[in-house]
A = this chain, B = another copy of it.
Amino acid sequence: MAGSPRRTAGRRLQLPLLCLLLQGATAILFAVFVRYNHETDAALWHWRNHSNADNEFYFRYPSFQDVHTMIFVGFGFLMVFLQRYGFSSVGFTFLLAAFALQWSTLVQGFFHSFHGGHIHVGVESMINADFCAGAVLISFGAILGKTGPAQLLLMALLEVVLFGLNEFVLLSLLGVKDAGGSMTIHTFGAYFGLVLSRVLYRPQLEKSKHRQGSVYHSDLFAMIGTIFLWIFWPSFNSAPTTLGDGQHRTALNTYYSLTASTLSTFALSALVGRDGRLDMVHVQNAALAGGVVVGTSAEMMLTPFGALVAGFLAGTVSTLGYKFFTPILESKLKVQDTCGVHNLHGMPGVLGALLGVLVAGLATHEAYGDGLESVFPLLAKGQRSATSQAMHQLFGLFVTLIFASVGGSLGGLLLRLPFLDSPPDSQCYEDQIYWEVPGEHEDLAQGPLRAEEPETRA
């Protein structure tokens, strides 16, 4: 495969060795640094003598499970649309996310919950790690089909660190609000992946053109991913927000925004389609843009009307992006964006950041009452004006774009290291390089079972 026996032998070892090395390293770091927090440690929890009902678990675990479903089922199956890359799409999602969960527990732990020489973990670190895995999978979407699993693990190794750093700068240093991650997850993940894809540009990719499309059943599998992402996005945005009205409002706003992006996606897809036909690519992706676009503002007093407008715009921009901008991105800017993450995460993420600037700038004591403390603590304490918060939000977007671009460039250089196993241009989007692939319908073609003559098969 892929030319020479030597490369095959190299490939045989790169993935397993890297897995073992990374697992060994994180295990050692876990042994040294990671400890149960006061909600998961038997002694600490009982020492404090809390009521069990107060354990954070009961407030966040159901949301965590929805997020977990989005990461593994949602992202995994969304990428199964490629006709010959289903095993890799769902399998590498599984591998990448599993590693990212461990690695980001460490990285985010150092930045956010490092006390007394230890990282303290519980349901909040689980949610945050899943969020970071989400960003890695968004980047994966841009380069889907054009990289090997060892390359992907190296990308995750780098991206998780930069994700954690960017998140720390925004949330902790700049006091930016971004619960659902329009900036930290979607914008960061998308532009990291797009810049990385630019560095890995393959001028001869048309050699694999015949495998870039979907087939009927692969599109249905992809809809499993889409629908699970769509239904659980309210949990995604609300999982890390403040308890009470915060989580409740965030979920509600996201729910409305998604209904609007669905309607605008169907409208625009039919408008720009041949003979008014709908395009599954749009439905699978752009309908989700409503979740991305309120990632920053859903916890704010966006109003239900505001959520509808935001979702509508996001679905529109995203659908038009798939139709008109993706081809230009490849032909003019040499960015080959397999899943169209620029349309689903990039543009809606930036829009979402700007929407956050607007809604933060409009925040008043009147609108939020005593709830201002939980949404904009710096405003409530009088340390910042609404306009200043808006400016900080805008600066957060700028920082994110810098981190993503520099990170994507570094990632691209890393993945181009010549000894790394990478599929040849003619074998992109092809499972058989990395997987034992069974045939298709060998037996089914034989028509109805003929039990009278079983010998004919033996």
* Partner-binding segment picked from A12-20, A396-404, A410-418: A12-20
Q: A438 and B214: CB pair below 8 A?
A: yes
Report the separation of the CA atoms of residues A219 and B8 in the bound assembly, to the nearest whole angstrom. Answer: 25
Segment from A188-196, A354-362, A370-378 that makes contact with B: A370-378
**Chain B positions within 8 Å of A259 at CB level:** 98-99, 101-102
Q: For A46, give its contact among B41, B273, B370, B448 (CB under 8 Å).
A: B370
| Contact B59–A62 (Cβ < 8 Å) | no
Cβ of A230 under 8 Å from chain B? yes
**In whole angstroms, what is the CA distance A343 to B411 when docked?**
38
CB distance from A223 to the nearest CB of B (A): 5
Q: Which A residues from 251 to 268 make CB contacts under 8 A with B?
A: 251-252, 255-256, 258-260, 262-264, 266-268
Q: B40–A252 contact, CB under 8 A?
A: yes
Residue A271 is within 8 A (CB to CB) of chain B in the complex: yes
* A contact patch SS: helix
The count of chain A contact residues (Cβ–Cβ below 8 Å) is: 164
Asked whether A371 lies within 8 Å of B207 as measured between CB atoms, the reply is: no
Smallest Cβ distance from A265 to chain B, in angstroms?
Answer: 9
Residue A80 at the chain B interface, CB threshold 8 Å: yes
Q: Which 9 A-B pairs have the closest CB atoms?
A: A43-B369, A42-B371, A12-B276, A426-B454, A52-B244, A46-B370, A19-B267, A45-B245, A98-B262
B95 touches A308 (CB 8 A): no
Give residues 147-171 of A contacting B (CB, 8 Å). 149
- With both beta carbons as reference points, the residue of chain B lying nearest to A435 in the complex is identified as B278
Q: Which among B214, B426, B432 is the interface contact of A458 at CB below 8 angstroms?
A: B426
Is A173 on the interface with B (CB-CB < 8 A)? Answer: no
Contact A368/B42 with A30-B308, A266-B149, A275-B12 known, Cβ cut-off 8 Å? yes
Q: Is A294 interfacial (CB 8 A cutoff)?
A: no
Task: Please give, as numbers and ranges, the residues of chain B lying within 8 Å of A430 by CB-CB distance.
Answer: 449
- Interface status of A392 (Cβ within 8 A of chain B): no
Known: A36-B304, A207-B454. A90 touches B227 (CB 8 A): yes
Q: Which residues of B contact A256 (CB under 8 A)?
A: 30, 102
A248 partner, pick from B22, B55, B235, beta carbons under 8 A: B55
From A81-89, A178-186, A326-334, the one touching the partner chain is A81-89
A279 and B432 in contact (CB under 8 A), knowing A262-B98, A367-B42?
A: no
**Please, which residues of chain B bring their CB within 8 A of the CB of A427?**
449, 451, 454
Separation in Å of the A121 CB from the closest CB of chain B?
A: 6
Interface residue A76 (Cβ < 8 Å from any Cβ of B)? yes
Q: Which residue of B lies closest to A24 (CB)?
A: B312
Instruction: Determine if A44 is an interface residue (Cβ-Cβ < 8 Å).
Output: yes
The reply to whether B443 and A68 form a contact with Cβ atoms under 8 Å apart is no
| Residue A94 lies at the interface, judged by CB distance under 8 Å to chain B | yes
A312-B23 contact given A30-B305, A278-B434, CB 8 Å threshold: yes
Interface: A6 (CB within 8 A): no
Residue pairs across A and B with Cβ atoms less than 8 A apart, 10 shown, are A15-B267, A30-B256, A30-B304, A36-B303, A42-B367, A52-B244, A55-B247, A61-B247, A95-B266, A101-B259
Judging by beta carbons under 8 Å apart, are B65 and A11 in contact? no
A122 interface hit (Cβ, 8 Å): yes
Measured between beta carbons, the chain B residues less than 8 angstroms from A458 are 206-207, 426
Q: Which one of B36, B231, B442 lies within 8 Å of A252 (CB-CB)?
A: B36
